[in-house]
Amino acid sequence: MRYALYFAPGPGEALADLGASWIGREALTGVAVDHPELGGLSANELASITGPARRYGFHATLKAPFRLAEGVSEADLVRAMDQFASDAVAFEIPSLVVGRLEGFLALVPGGTAPELNAFANLVVEAFEPLRAPLTEREIERRNPESLSSEQLKHLMRWGYPYVFDSFRFHMTLTMRLSEPDITRVETAANEHFAFALSGPVPVRALSLFVEPAPGAPFQIHSRTPLATGKHRKTA
């Protein structure tokens, strides 16, 4: 079993509903959701290009999927989340936009987001003692030969290459696409998410996702609300 700490919009929020319909699955319940028919993009085509995103659920990675360290239980992880959330303050991402990352589409910050980056750094560090070391197979799955030296150091130290200076907040929308498909899908994504992206995006909770068996869809185990009315600690 693997666990992951993600940002996921809360139940009932427009971004959560639109994200679930885009990828075709609701991560909280695991229930399939009908894909919309969008201009220039059929529901069948949308289903075919969102397969990987559908398995992981609509999210942004903070602490990448990991196995628990020896002697650490799920209850220990939940308690650690409660402690972390009591000191971490809810905040807003000023804006999200549909962006391109190495050939795939994702929702990304519309500008600099230092508070978001600081929060992500804290999550990576705070839960590291609960993570089991990567196996050789897990390292190989990250294609270490394609990583920069700094990313490789992050992988070996933190279990994920894209942390700290290499962190890129993103909510994956598609697999890799080639032109002209990516332009057409980008237009459809902007249409689909327009309402949810019209203002700031709140970060009110830290979400625990669980992969119950290798290759199984990730589901939301729990959402731990962040504190309010305090000053955030900096990394």
Please state the rounded mean pLDDT for residues 57-81: 98
| pLDDT number for residue 39 | 84
Amino acid present at 46: L
Give the CB-side neighbour count of residue 218, counting CA atoms within 13 A: 26
Closest by CA to 226, choosing from 118, 85, 27, 52, is 85
Model confidence over 130-145: pLDDT tens digits? 999 999 999 999 999 9
| Helices H / strands E in the chain, number of each | 8, 9
Q: Is the peptide bond before 180 cis (omega within 30 degrees of 0)?
A: yes
Is 234 a residue whose pLDDT tops 60?
A: no
The percentage of the chain sitting over the pLDDT mark of 70, rounded to a whole number, equals 97
CATH number of the structural domain 2-225: 3.90.1140.10
Helix runs in the chain, H state only: 14-23, 43-49, 51-56, 74-87, 114-126, 136-141, 149-158, 181-193
Residue ranges per domain, the chain?
A: 2-225
Quick one: pLDDT band at residue 211, thresholds 50, 70, 90? very high
| pLDDT number for residue 7 | 98
| pLDDT number for residue 230 | 52
**Please, what is the average pLDDT of the chain?**
94
Residues 85 and 64: their CA atoms lie apart, in Å, by 18
Residues 27/17, Cβ–Cβ less than 8 Å: no
| pLDDT number for residue 206 | 98
